[in-house]
Structure 1
Amino acid sequence: MLRSMYSGISGMKANQTKLDVIANNIANVGTTSFKASKVNFSDTLYQTSNSATAPTDSIGGTNAKSIGLGAKVASINKLMTKGNLLTTGRSLDVSIDGDGYFIAAKGKTTGSIAVDSSSNGITGSTDIDQQVYTRDGNLTLDENGNLLTSNGYRVMGYWTSSSAVTRDTNGNAVVASRVDPDSTFTYDTALRPLVIPDKVNGKAVESFDIGSNGVVTAVTSEGRSVLGQIAMASFKNPEGLKDLGGNFEQESGNSGAAMISTSASTTTNSNSGAFGAISQGYLEASNVDLTEQFTDMISATRAFQASSKMISNGDEILQTITGLIR
């Protein structure tokens, strides 16, 4: 059988994969915080009919004679460039202008994630069923005031040490004491599900805002009160994160362990400079460039057609050969 036919098949398979990736990119052009992917090819094995020879006193050296056996997908890389920030005017929409991921978890409202104060790494969790990461800041609140992703996962962050969240008889979240932003206070060291309560120090919460460092502040008739701070995570190799769908990522063996942002009250070992600023009222758009995707689609389609033509030409050659015995 002609080698060109198998090379053509490998080219078709490789370019089909590229077209699949391009189709997914285009489908997600409107997906919040989506990161486009790009396919890279490499050549496959070579069949050597003559090995290279070294020069001698009487004759020069010769190069090897090798015939390639096609192409294959070498890698599918995720493009981590930041998408444009789109204004929404919605107080529960937040985006990260720079590096970092929001931390979301599925589990009980009493769940927590322990963070090592020296390494800023995660050391364990309690009452947490699943822990994921996302740049999609399209947040919501449930009837009890829990801050959630659009999928219903709880957004994790630091509570202020003196304002533990409790529940009233109706299950609504309340904060027992008011924490003045201008006073000296600290945050808990563990990450907990963040809550926008109905009341702070017995006063109804009228509004809230989220600062560039993720600090959540409520406004009551007594004034402003700090509720907590949205935590972020970063990775040595964010391209290595495992895609889960639903705009969620998960730590993998090649992403590196998560480094957690320190709280705003941390003065020793603070790593706040390694994370982007949070913008309230904005969402990060997809970084898909349609012009580039359509150009790549045309190129991949033509390469697919050319590879299929090699199979057709191989078939014609085989027909000619079999016709010789008539």
Structure 2
Amino acid sequence: MDMSFWVGSIGASQAQRKLDVVSNNLANVNNNGFKPKNAVFAELVNYNLNAGRDETTELQAGAGAIVSATNTDFRSAALTQTNRLLDYAIMTDNQFFQVRDQATGAITLTRDGHFHAGQMQDGRFVLMTDSDKFVLNTQGQLTYLDVTDGADEGRLAEGQQIGIYTVPFPSRLQNVGDDDFRVREGDNNNPITLVELPTVVTGALEQSGTDIAKEFTNMIEAQRAFSYNLRMVQTSDEVAQTINGLR
């Protein structure tokens, strides 16, 4: 296969991957606590030269670029005042609420602080996420509430405090959907630890971290890259047809 044809085809496919990342960021522009991603490109020749002799790499024809990673931006975003007692916003980067799935017991981390009161079988109320996961307190246990009969929400019970947690390497967290993240299996060097003095605002929610202007710029760049790479493929095909016609 002609080298230019390969470079153009792989460039178009990777530009499409960047467009997928941008579209996901824009689709979550109104989701509380959403953290946008960005596509990181790597040049295939350098990727191959830096690899070990016996390592299997993604190099196919010696040139081109690929999306090597999609990094998540865990920086804090702006706040929206809601005045709800059970809305919470974390003011510090790389800190999270810790939640537990009712069915599986899986522990995940989230920045979305839009919570509600959920009633247990024993009649007590606990703090829960929109997806009905338990919000854990500073002891890693359920967070109990005092709820007045007929009220839509309540207050933290006496002695209860929502736990705010962090990890040493947020970039290594795995996105598991619903704006939730978890520590990758086997990553023992990235433990979840309690933040002793967190900064949390009650009656507010953290907005989506998506920067619309930035994402539209990225979309234009990806669209142009896609178009230019397809033009390279088309030109390579025309050259090949011309050469074959001369034979």
Could you say which TM-score interval applies, normalised by the shorter chain?
0.7 to 0.9
Structure 2 CA distance for partners of 1:255 and 1:138, relative to 1, 3 Å: farther
Superposed, 1:1-326 pairs within 5 Å as 1-45=1-45, 69-99=63-93, 100-107=95-102, 129-143=105-119, 144-158=124-138, 190-198=139-147, 216=156, 226-252=158-184, 253=187, 256-261=190-195, 271-272=196-197, 275=198, 277-325=199-247
Superposed CA offset, 1:246-283 (max 9, x none): 1211112287111123xxxxxxxxx42xx3x1111100
State the secondary structure of the residue aligned to 1:102.
strand
1:308: how far off? Answer: 0.4
Which of the pair has more CA radius of gyration? 1
TM-score normalized by structure 1?
A: 0.64
What is the CA deviation profile of residues 72-118 of structure 1, one whole-angstrom value per residue up to 9, with x for unaligned ones?
1122111122110100111111111114211111349xxxxxxxxxx
Letter in 2 for 1:133: L
**What secondary structure, in the 3-state scheme, does the structure 1 residue paired with 2:101 have?**
strand
Higher relative contact order (Cα pairs below 8 Å, separated by 6+ residues): 2
Q: Which runs of 5+ in 2 are unaligned?
A: 47-60
Given that 2:87 and 2:114 are in contact with CA atoms closer than 8 Å, whether structure 1 keeps it comes out as: yes
Amino acid in structure 2 at the alignment position of 1:151? S
RMSD: 2.3
Counterpart AA for 1:195: Y
Secondary structure at the aligned position of 2:145 is classed as: coil
Structure 1 residues 282 and 106: CA distance shift in structure 2, 3 A: same
Q: Distance in 2 between matches of 1:91 and 1:281?
A: 5
3-state SS, counterpart of residue 22 of structure 1: helix
Per-residue CA shift, 1:41-63, capped at 9, x if unaligned? 121138xxxxxxxxxxxxxxxxx
SS of the residue 2:67 aligns to: strand
Residues of 1 paired with 2:226 and 2:132: CA distance?
A: 42
Distance 2:133 2:82 in 1: 22
Runs of 4+ in 1 over 4 A off after TM superposition: none
In the alignment, the residues of structure 2 paired with residue 91 and residue 292 of structure 1 have an alpha-carbon distance, to the nearest angstrom, of 33
Amino acid at match of 2:213: T
Percent identity between the aligned chains?
29
Q: Which amino acid aligns with 1:96?
A: I
The TM-score with structure 2 as length reference comes to 0.83
Does the CA contact (< 8 Å) of 2:114 and 2:130 recur in 1?
Answer: yes
Count of aligned residue pairs for this structure pair: 223
Q: Which amino acid aligns with 1:243?
A: N
Preserved CA contact (<8 Å) 1:43 1:68 = no
* 1:240 and 1:255 in contact (8 A); partners too: no
Determine helix, strand or coil for the equivalent of 1:146. strand
The answer on whether the counterparts of 1:240 and 1:254 sit within 8 Å (CA) in structure 2 is no
Match of 2:52 in 1: none
Name whichever structure is richer in helix by fraction. Answer: 2
- Unaligned runs of 5+ residues in structure 1 are 47-66, 109-127, 159-189, 200-204, 210-215, 219-225, 262-270
Over 3 Å counting, the alpha-carbon distance change for 1:106 and 1:80 in structure 2 is closer
8 Å CA contact 1:241–1:255 kept in 2: the answer is: no
Residue by residue over 1:121-165, the C-alpha shift from the partner in whole angstroms, topping out at 9 and shown as x without a partner, is xxxxxxx8221111111001123411111111111114xxxxxxx
Measured in 2, the distance between the counterparts of 1:316 and 1:196 equals 70
Contact 1:7 1:69 (C-alpha < 8 Å) held by counterparts: yes
Tell me if the contact between 2:147 and 2:154 (Cα under 8 Å) persists in the aligned partners. no
Instruction: Judging by fraction of residues, say which structure has more strand.
Output: 1
C-alpha offsets along residues 288-316 of structure 1, whole Å, 9 cap, x if unaligned? 11111111111110111100011110111
Distance 2:101 2:220 in 1: 42
Give, in angstroms, the shift of residue 191 of structure 1.
Answer: 2.6
